[in-house]
Structure 1
Amino acid sequence: MPVLHKIAVIAVLCAVALGVLLPGAHRPDRGVRAARAAESAARAEGRPATVPQAAPASTPPSSAPPAPPTVSPSGTPGASATPVPAAAPAAAAAGADELGEVPVLMYHRILPKAELSLDRSTAELRKELERLAREGYVPITAAEFAAGRIDVPAGRHPVVLTFDDSTPGHFGLDARGNVLPDTAVGIIEDVARRHPGFRPTATFYLNDDLFGLGPRAAEGLKWLTAHGFEIANHTVHHPDLSTLGEDGVRKEIADMEDRIVALTGQHTATFAYPFGAVPRKRAWAQREDGRYSFQGVFLAGWKPSESPFDERFDRWAITRVRSEGKIKENDCRTMCSTAYLDELAKHPGERYTSDGDPATVTVPKKELGRLAPAYRAAARTY
């Protein structure tokens, strides 16, 4: 068990003092790390730390994500007392725990050689993806994760690969329409070819420049969606939304959405805050009738996310982990992707392990109390 469990009391007292309980702080060590890493992520992006707001009292009906295909909410008095069916033998044998943590990895520029703290080199990206493949992770999209549509083989673990700012190192096409091999998409596809079962997908949060594709922007976005990648909204100009009023927030998001729809004919399903900066009212970024309606919103850090089936999961403030190696100069020695993947490898019981059936949610009996009521009818235990 991680040593930081010993400071659980301190974490809780801090949360009470602040008047905010950070999403997913049910594990004391992760709650403490979240508080420190929020500040670290803010400093890294050159802005003041932003504390996620509390969940809104109600969710706009049109933006509610669908449940897994055959799952229906219990929602009836006394439903929690209904016996939960036994897990399938294969799920139990795989050690399924679909309330475990999921790494949602956040990447920025991908370059031949990293230049800034948020950059990753092509070699570093390939190394991290190869590690994920070896350790049994299977990529899913941000939209699938936010909506709880997780279809991963039994015994394996979902991971969400997100790339912010739509820079040229993420994706490009040659003159014949083939993906450039040294971009993030090219590397993801190559790792998938070398590791059967490693699904070649990722989510790209778009700003106005659109990978530097210029007049080929429509061609490029359609290539991505046709090949199983997700495109998503990250505003037109990448402003700090915490400094804007309602009209400014909505214009940045809606104008980007309008451009994506004009180029692809499709709306996006998720949104990521530039700099992780939350506007004064979260509802401004969630939905505007006729222009955008998201299923989930992602922050800029700072820890693996709770399972979407966990009662503490907040789809309007989904946490991510910055991709970076362990370094002494900042909190990445314990907070970034390499450190967190090391910890999940050392403590495999903390990570999401699939039961192989997207229509059920299998958890060990001791974890059943954390299951969100809407998924009670899908629950299986062992």
Structure 2
Amino acid sequence: MKTSLLHCLAFTLPLLILLSSCYKTSKLVTTTPIDTVKEVTDTENDESTVSAETFKNKDFIPNELGRVMVLEYHLIGSPEARWRRTPQNLKKDLQLLYDHDYYPVSVHAIASGELNVPAGKTPFALTFDDSSAGQFRFLEKNGKLVIDPECAVGIVESFKKAHPDFPLTATFYVLPAIKPTLRLFAQPEYKQQKLEWLQKNGYEIGNHTWFHAQLSKLSDEEAQKHLGMFVKEMRAFLPDYEPKSLALPLGMHAKNRALEVSGEFEGTKYKHESVMLVGSATSVSPYSKRFDALAIQRVQGGEHQENPENFMNSQIKHQTRFVSDGNPKTISAPEALKEELNVRLIKKYKVNWIKTLPEQHEKDSTSIIAKR
């Protein structure tokens, strides 16, 4: 009896140890509804798999590793040209974005990844370079100053008022020391009023250098001068002004790219969290391992081949655009895109990988195209 018991223990003890080890090292995979995920602490590695069935009653599947558009405009006026968009066509662009479930966010939101976008919507940001008169114009009417309804600001404000579910904003990359037709919207008597109005009404004013200097041709000292002097001149109008974003003139980087981010000239310091390139290309998701806030691609508005409408149609057709899950604390995307995620974000966000059958993905793609 004693010998039999010893034999039994010799057989079962290793098995119990093995099972205990497997239990400790195994990872539990859960299915978590998108709208009930828990907040993640900095020490958690929190990922889960979500069935596509979760979205069977919706007309979208989230893809927060899809591409986004930062739109770039220059002159607003007539006639339509390579670097000029007519007021009517700017209105058309905004309507197109609205009709196709795009949702306006700030440049800061894209640069930081702090995206609070309704479920099923695709974020985009609106930018204007060079501060020409067509972007922001005051008119005198009955002894009062009013915003020209045909300038960019007037168009954006009017569209926002007509569509309260579409909170439009924009970043204006202005020039404080360029020729008069581009200097702070070309109405010198109203410079301060315009800059104050933009700041007060939720628009961002970005650095575009002192007078559109091509940074790639400048020494380190000269580059800091043009970026620092921009800040110094702007503070004459807005004492607490701190630019957070830089748009590179002609899209050309400085010889020392670190100086695009921060530097100092004669006691005036600057620091940027994002740097904009010149179009035309869409940007990868802020959650992608390939995203670089210091080299964000933009799409130039216009009738040329690489325009917002063509990118939009391509992204809908190929299911490559960013589609929000509606929860700013989570990142949700098809399981096939796991390798695209910036893994450092797993500590900050709850990550939901959506398991989608190939035939389901093809069906969803077809239905979305038909809907549009």
- Aligned partner of 1:199 in structure 2 is 167
Q: Matched residues in 1 for 2:40 and 2:272: separation?
A: 21
Unaligned stretches of 5+ in structure 2?
1-38, 177-182, 355-372
- Per the TM alignment, residue 190 of structure 1 is displaced from its structure 2 partner at its CA by 1.7
- In the alignment, is residue 317 of structure 1 matched against residue 295 of structure 2? yes
- Per the TM alignment, residue 177 of structure 1 is displaced from its structure 2 partner at its CA by 4.3
1:37-76 alignment, distance < 5 Å: none
- In the alignment, is residue 84 of structure 1 matched against residue 55 of structure 2? no
| Alpha-carbon distance change, 71 to 172 in structure 1, aligned in 2, over 3 angstroms | farther
Amino acid across the alignment from 1:357: N
Q: Out of 274, 292, 304, which is 2:249 matched to? A: 274
- Aligned partner of 1:336 in structure 2 is 307
Amino acid across the alignment from 2:133: P
Q: Matched residues in 2 for 1:99 and 1:91: separation?
A: 20
Normalised by the size of structure 1, how large is the TM-score? 0.73
Asked if the contact 1:71–1:360 (Cα under 8 Å) also holds between the matched residues in 2, the reply is no
Asked if the contact 1:113–1:122 (Cα under 8 Å) also holds between the matched residues in 2, the reply is no
Asked if the contact 2:64–2:332 (Cα under 8 Å) also holds between the matched residues in 1, the reply is yes
- Per the TM alignment, residue 338 of structure 1 is displaced from its structure 2 partner at its CA by 2.8
- Aligned partner of 1:129 in structure 2 is 94
- In the alignment, is residue 181 of structure 1 matched against residue 136 of structure 2? no
- Larger-Rg structure: 2
Amino acid across the alignment from 1:111: G
Q: Matched residues in 2 for 1:281 and 1:375: separation?
A: 28
Q: Matched residues in 2 for 1:128 and 1:310: separation?
A: 27
Unaligned stretches of 5+ in structure 1?
1-69, 326-331
SS at match of 1:174: strand
Asked if the contact 2:104–2:123 (Cα under 8 Å) also holds between the matched residues in 1, the reply is yes
- Per the TM alignment, residue 228 of structure 1 is displaced from its structure 2 partner at its CA by 1.8
- Per the TM alignment, residue 262 of structure 1 is displaced from its structure 2 partner at its CA by 3.0
Q: Matched residues in 1 for 2:320 and 2:346: separation?
A: 21
| Alpha-carbon distance change, 72 to 283 in structure 1, aligned in 2, over 3 angstroms | farther
- Aligned partner of 2:111 in structure 1 is 146
- In the alignment, is residue 284 of structure 1 matched against residue 256 of structure 2? no
- Aligned partner of 1:12 in structure 2 is none
SS at match of 1:363: strand
Q: Out of 101, 107, 111, which is 2:77 matched to? A: 111
Q: Out of 61, 80, 95, which is 2:61 matched to? A: 95
Higher strand share: 2
Asked if the contact 1:73–1:373 (Cα under 8 Å) also holds between the matched residues in 2, the reply is no
SS at match of 2:172: strand
Asked if the contact 2:242–2:270 (Cα under 8 Å) also holds between the matched residues in 1, the reply is yes
- Per the TM alignment, residue 141 of structure 1 is displaced from its structure 2 partner at its CA by 1.4
Normalised by the size of structure 2, how large is the TM-score? 0.75
Aligned pairs, number? 299
Identity, in percent, stands at 31
Q: Deviations over 1:89-139 (max 9, x none)?
A: 57994411111100111111001423x421111111111111011111111
Asked if the contact 2:47–2:352 (Cα under 8 Å) also holds between the matched residues in 1, the reply is no
- Per the TM alignment, residue 350 of structure 1 is displaced from its structure 2 partner at its CA by 0.4
Amino acid across the alignment from 2:147: V
